[in-house]
Amino acid sequence: MGFNLLDIECEDKSLVELAFTHPSYTKEKELSYTQSYERLEFLGDAVLKLCISDLLYKKYPDYEEGELSKIRSILVSDATLAKIAKSIGIDKNLILGTGEENTGGRTRESNIACAMEAVLGAYYLNGKITFVEKFLEENLLPIANDIDEHFEKYNAKAVLQEYTQGQNGILPDYKVINTKGPAHKPIFEVEVSYMGEVLAVGSGHSKKEAQQDAAYQACLKLNIISNG
């Protein structure tokens, strides 16, 4: 890693602190919703997708839009963002409400990924987009190479479906069991079942992402794929 994104000096440091403030904390302290990371996350999500789209557009000049979209969807997923965010200590800096802290909020992928996006938004507002682009290029583009060369291992739904069809031709069933989070970026929880038995539960910012996560957890449970 060339540098830690969190080491960048900013003129408005309060924005960076705001990027770590989870909504559970503002609710607990009866503060305005503007004092949590939700608005910065909204902005950072757009910054992330623009930067990644630009990097992929330049890296794969012959790829069609559909191929670029497949790679981007994995790069900006909660799982990928949380992994990168943990490597630079974003999880350790989260400001959580007591309840969220006590229920594992500091290790929850969605929380860490949202804070990561909020941090990107904070740096964008501080005029540090060049540093953001460099960080994403160094940390996400290498993952893009692996996705491009081994896309099948990232498509857990296809892997699970192939397995169940090979067993008896019955397909796994996916069901949304909960929706939470802000309206502009809800978090879906999905359970995947097979022959009436719930195999696993996954989450994501879209139903498709949550299904992929649930399928991945099911594949791990069934020893169809290995962790990592």
**Which of the residues are catalytic?**
45, 117
Beta bridge partners of 134: none
Residue with structure tokens 């996916």? 174
Name the DSSP class of 175.
E
- 80, with CB counted inside 10 A (0-12, 13-18, 19+), is buried
Give residue 72's identity as a one-letter amino acid code: R
Which residues does 146 contact at the CB level (< 8 Å), separation at least 6?
none
Q: Quote the tokens at residue 80.
A: 């990928």
Q: How far apart are CA 182 and CA 185, in angstroms?
A: 5
